[in-house]
Amino acid sequence: MTLPLIIETKPEDWTYVSEGGATIVFSYRGPHNVQFSDHVLRLRKVAHGSSNSTLLDSNSEQPDDSMIAFQENIISKLVPSEFLPSLVVVVLDEDWLRSLVVLRNGDRPAERRQTDHIDVRRSKGVLATDLIGGTPIAMEIKPKWGFLPTECHLSPETAALKTTTCRFCMHTSFRMEQGGIGTTYCPLDLFSRDETRIRKALGALWAGWYESHGSLNNLRLFVEGRMAKPDDDHSMQLLAHFLTADESTDVQNLRESFTSALAQALLDSPVLPLLSTLQRTLDILDVEGLSKLYTQTSSGSSCDGLGSLVPDPYMEEWEDFVEVYQSDHHSWDHTVPSPGHIRYYLMAYLLSATFKDCSIIIRPKSTQIGSFDTTIIDMDIKSMDRLGKWERLDRKIVEHYKSSGSQRRCIDSQRISQSGCTQLSEWR
């Protein structure tokens, strides 16, 4: 199959949509093109001054973006295809990318421009289904962690906190201490399957979006293919036209209409229960239990941190992992995990992180008024070298929350207590 070439379009045919920590997204707005119309272009970013840019020489063949193979070979076995966007490889061109940077870099948030830039040395990118354009309104939610850990592998110092307050709420408290923007959003409300709690979560997401002037990334709203901001009168009028009966731009009226529409959409969709199940079954030990198991099985090499010196899995290993997850995982006794399964548990935690960090796009169906489609996006493969950082961050977050005196209670309606737990320190 012949791969589409980005040089068949002009840089000015693409408009900035949004970006995350690793990728930046542009939407095609040029003349009709079978390969590019109704698609977005996902490009990898690289930190300023980084030596890790994809510096293969021009005569070398760069591999396809790992996101595509990961979705095709791994994610698609865990998530029905109807909830996934299509992804295809597109061949890039350095001069074309540099022109795009000149044209669109000013559209990016200032804090992003200060941190990183498009990796112009990449020879391949990703074309994905355009879930933002072609529809009057689209909403992106980053749900985050949808469960509380069981007490089984937690230390006596952390068990009470971690089984009472969810990771997101503790992390929010930590970020606020560091000068970040606060939010009252709790993911466990969104994942609860209870309409009242879902509406509460959506109301908190809206409030965070409005009060932060659209800078919090747990909720993004798009109208006519562009990111909407609370201080943009045109955007607010379009939101009101779609969400409200009287097209009133009154903030409270808009918030109520938003929560009502999305609450029903989420209740009708199996996406959130699926994400919650995948998150909690893959992160079965918590990072504390994973760290203890790793220490016991690493022959002294754990001094560099969790997962240190452990190579990233090959795609074939990921395929084998999914087979084990779907066949043997649920019959294992995870209260006493086998040291022989340490690599499996490390990979499981990485995959859980993918589902904790993904986003969902909710947009109206073109054929049914009041009905919505929900699609899961941003399911990047995670690297082993991030495990140590996550372990240290987890410790910092919990220590801060403990010292803060906060006592927020988060309710995990799907949580099943594990009885007969054996502390990892007691394993033989």
Q: Tell me if 121 is assigned to some domain.
A: yes
For 118, list phi and psi in degrees, rounded to 5.
-60, 135
Q: How far apart are CA 381 and CA 350, in angstroms?
A: 8
pLDDT in single tens digits along all 428 residues of the chain: 688 999 999 999 999 988 888 899 999 999 999 999 999 999 999 998 875 544 444 444 555 678 888 999 999 999 999 999 999 999 999 999 999 999 999 999 888 999 999 999 999 999 999 998 878 889 999 999 999 999 999 999 999 999 999 999 999 999 988 877 889 999 999 999 999 999 999 999 999 999 998 888 899 999 888 888 898 888 888 888 888 877 777 888 889 989 998 999 999 999 999 999 999 999 999 999 999 999 988 765 555 688 878 999 999 999 999 999 999 999 999 999 999 999 999 999 999 999 999 999 999 886 556 688 999 998 889 999 999 999 999 999 999 999 988 888 999 988 765 444 644 433 32
Expressed as residue numbers, the domain containing 95 is 6-47+58-63+87-130
Q: Tell me if 101 is assigned to some domain.
A: yes
Q: Tell me if 152 is assigned to some domain.
A: no
Burial of residue 51 (CB within 10 Å: 0-12, 13-18, 19+) is exposed
The CATH number of residue 19's host domain is 3.30.200.110
Q: What is the pTM of this model?
A: 0.88
Q: Tell me if 426 is assigned to some domain.
A: no
- The domain total for the chain is 1
Q: Report yes or no: 125 and 36 within 8 Å, Cβ to Cβ.
A: no
Q: Tell me if 364 is assigned to some domain.
A: no
Q: Tell me if 312 is assigned to some domain.
A: no
φ/ψ bin of 140: left (φ > 0), alpha (ψ from -120 to 50), beta (otherwise): beta
